[in-house]
Amino acid sequence: MPEPAPCHTLLPAQPPRCLVSACLTGLCTRYDGRSKPSPGCRRMLARYQWIPVCPEQLGGLPTPRTPADLVGGDGFAVLAGTARVLDRDGQDRTGQFILGARLVLAIARAQNISLALLKARSPSCGVRSRTGVTAALLLENGIRCLEF
């Protein structure tokens, strides 16, 4: 009697996963309570299974919130303890920005993510002009970051 043929279950191929700044997807997570949808980012997201994140919300800051900026350096310097994040009222928000960055990194690790699409010119997510806190932490951990 011949052996039965092996049963193979073919699962549909899953697209790769990426993180994306929630405000780029149309979610109202920016400091001013608005979104900043990016058509270029949305086109790129069509190829991915994506997870929206807002590091500032994850760090415990409300929406809307007082705008904040990096003082004394970039996100790498904030992580090294040589720069801070201050809001427009002078409140130190460094702890919240670092906590949010760490939680985004934890999500990336848990989901085996190697790419993040981030909001340009953000003290959390900026990449090119001045690297934000979350972008710096992701880059330090080998996660590729693109900004929109």
Q: Which residues of the chain have pLDDT under 50?
A: none
pTM of the complete model beyond 0.85? yes
Tens of pLDDT along 98-113? 999 999 999 999 999 9
Residue 140 lies in a domain: yes
Q: Report DSSP letters for 80-113, one per residue.
A: HTS-EEEETTS-B-HHHHHHHHHHHHHHHHHTT-
Residue 1 lies in a domain: no
Residue 5 lies in a domain: no
Q: What's the rounded Cα separation, in Å, for the pair 50 and 115?
A: 10
129-138 burial by CB neighbour count: b if 16+ within 10 A, else e?
ebbbbbbbbb
The predicted structure's pLDDT at residue 13? 84
Count: domains in the chain: 1
The predicted structure's pLDDT at residue 57? 98
Residue 134 lies in a domain: yes
The predicted structure's pLDDT at residue 11? 73
Residue 46 lies in a domain: yes
Residue 86 lies in a domain: no
Q: What's the rounded Cα separation, in Å, for the pair 70 and 63?
A: 19
Residue 114 lies in a domain: yes
* Containing structural domain, residue 58: 17-64+95-147
